[in-house]
Amino acid sequence: MKKQLTLKQLRENMGLTMEEVAVKTDIPVRCLKYWENVHSGRAEAFSIFKLLHFYGVSHDHVYTGPALQEVSCAATA
């Protein structure tokens, strides 16, 4: 199974802030925050494709489900 990145990981890998992405894509910061932190699958298809085009990736490489919970190794021991 190939590794998929979240929208937040894509943005951070490019070294961009949400504000910079918002200006360049004309997508409000509040929408970006919601999609990165809660559920990117609830975004309009047009907006997601706009972001993917901006980031230069295909939909196959992006996780667009509910926000992933970070689990530390200590929590599983």
Q: What is the pLDDT along the chain (77 residues), one digit of tens a residue?
A: 467 888 899 999 999 999 999 999 999 999 899 888 877 666 777 788 888 899 998 888 787 666 654 433 333 33
pLDDT at 69: 47
The phi, psi pair for 39, rounded to 5°, reads -160, 100
Q: Do 10 and 57 touch, CB atoms closer than 8 A?
A: yes
Dist CA 6 CA 2 (whole Å): 13
Contact (CB, 8 A) for 48 and 64: yes
Question: What's the pLDDT score for residue 1?
Answer: 47
